Amino acid sequence: MPNLIIVRHGQSEWNLQNKFTGSTDVELTSTGEMEARNAGRLIKKYDLDEAYTSVLVRASHTLNIILTEIGKTTIPVTKTAAFNERSYGDLQGLDKLEMIKKYGPAQVLTWRRSYDVVPPNGESLKDTYDRVVPYYIKEIEPKLRANKNIIIVAHGNSLRALMMYLEKISETKIADVNLATGVPRLYEFDSGLRLSQVSYIH
């Protein structure tokens, strides 16, 4: 029975500085590297056949650390912009607390958590869903059906979009879902690719 593991990248420099990061390419902090190593230790007992990540360095660096930790550096790795973080547009690089002072907490929360509200010149979670899920269906589902175990290391919003699809989370309920950095989430499927169990790996 195939397994899918998803991991949000470790803490990035702009996570630490409380900035809107989005599609900006920033590196991991030392804490983020530690989170990636810990994720690898948690994943070590699971066999992996292939890996997917975004083209942004914080995700690919996290994946590299995980694969090194579990001794799987030779498995095929696919980097795709389909799994990139959503763009926050004009908010990228700006301090979240400053934006709360400027626009109010309700507006900032709506930009961050709602399904179809677009930040100025950015992407909504719906926009992200519309690139993540078709890619997953086309490229990854056939490999799971072929009984391959897959890991995806990506970003908070690209993975939340995938969680919506896999776990049938509604457009309203997804606002309450937050994926912590560096904590692996395991999806176990039956032979018909029906989801049999979902859990965090601790």
- Could you tell me if 162 and 125 are in contact, meaning their C-beta atoms sit under 8 angstroms apart? no
d(CA 36, CA 76): 19
Beta-carbon count within 10 A of 104 CB: 11
Query: In three state form, how does the secondary structure of 52-115 look?
Result: EECCCHHHHHHHHHHHHHHCCCCCCEEECHHHCCCCCHHHCCCEHHHHHHHHCHHHHHHHHHCC
Considering 9, 61, 123, 155, which one is annotated as catalytic?
9
Q: Using CA atoms, how far apart are residues 19 and 48, in angstroms rounded to an integer?
A: 33
DSSP-based helix, strand, coil % in the chain, nearest 5: 45, 15, 40
132: nearest Cα among 105, 108, 155:
155
Is 85 designated active site? yes
Which of 35, 61, 69, 85 is catalytic? The answer is 85
Catalytic: 202? Answer: no
**Measuring CA to CA, how many Å separate 172 from each of 110, 163, 195?**
11, 13, 22
- Give catalytic residues, as residue numbers: 9, 85
